[in-house]
Amino acid sequence: MQSLREMLARGGIAVPAIVFALAFAAFGVANEIARVAVYVLQQQVLDPERGGSLAFSIAGTQIDYTEVLQAVLAVAVIVAALAGMWLLVRRELRACPECRSDIPASASVCRYCTTELSPPE
């Protein structure tokens, strides 16, 4: 797997379009996971026969806890996915000992300063 920076440098407009489409789809999935989790939580916490709700009012405006919780959970799912992808990309790079540039872990010569590198450990 190549770093996102290298893919964007070679891919032109197609790669950002694909990344945007995948991000949009990931947000939809994360939002649906959060919606179902909040629904299950609401069913467990509230008695459906009493018609309770998780809401409060500020200056006459009704604010629903479930919508806030759903948004927070969706963001948390997306952040977790991005952190996982970042760790995968970083695992395949290492820093050149001379110029400190990010280079592929399997490189034997730095492409920036042409320093010969020892094999990765």
pLDDT tens digits along 17-34:
777 788 788 888 888 887
- pLDDT computed for residue 51 by the predictor: 52
- pLDDT computed for residue 121 by the predictor: 65
User: Does the pLDDT of residue 5 top 70, yes or no?
Assistant: no
As a whole number of angstroms, the distance between CA 35 and CA 121 comes to: 44
- The single-letter code of the amino acid at 18 is I
User: Does the pLDDT of residue 48 top 60, yes or no?
Assistant: no
Please state, as a whole number, how many other Cβ atoms lie within 10 Å of the Cβ of residue 98: 13
pTM metric for this prediction: 0.51
- pLDDT computed for residue 1 by the predictor: 46
